[in-house]
Amino acid sequence: MFKRIKDWLSSSASTGGQQVQGEAVEYKGYRITPTPLVEGGQFRVSGIIESLTDADKRHTFIRSDLVAGQDEACDFTVVKARLMIDQLGDSLFDR
């Protein structure tokens, strides 16, 4: 499974997968910026979560979810990011 994800990430980078940026949303001390990737006429859920209190804390994520529209992808990204924040909090930034 991890090999497929790694291969997908490599192919997206090499083909110049177009990334769009949605409007940032603040939630519980974090900024969520949707950055869906255009893939085969659909949008892959992707985003950035940043701490508002510590500029060095930033987490980028890409989900396997594909949706038809850009706005829907941005909305779904915010939903998924809020779940991650609720479940993980600052441990999101642990590496």
pLDDT in tens, 23-82: 999 999 999 999 999 998 899 999 999 999 998 999 999 999 999 999 999 999 999 999
Predicted confidence band of residue 7 (pLDDT cuts 50, 70, 90): low
More confident residue, 91 or 20: 91
Q: What number is the average pLDDT over the span 7-30?
A: 72
Rounded to whole angstroms, how far apart are CA atoms 52 and 81? 15
CATH number of the domain residue 77 falls in? 3.30.160.350
Q: Which domain holds residue 83?
A: 17-93
Can you give the pLDDT at residue 51?
A: 95
Is 7 part of a structural domain of the chain?
A: no
Name the pTM for this structure: 0.78
Is 8 part of a structural domain of the chain?
A: no
Split into its structural domains, the chain has a count of 1
Predicted confidence band of residue 20 (pLDDT cuts 50, 70, 90): confident
Closest CA to 74 of 39, 37, 28: 37
Helix (H/G/I), strand (E/B), else coil: 48? strand
Question: Are residues 85 and 92 in contact, defined by beta-carbon separation less than 8 angstroms?
Answer: yes
Is 5 part of a structural domain of the chain?
A: no
Can you give the pLDDT at residue 48?
A: 96
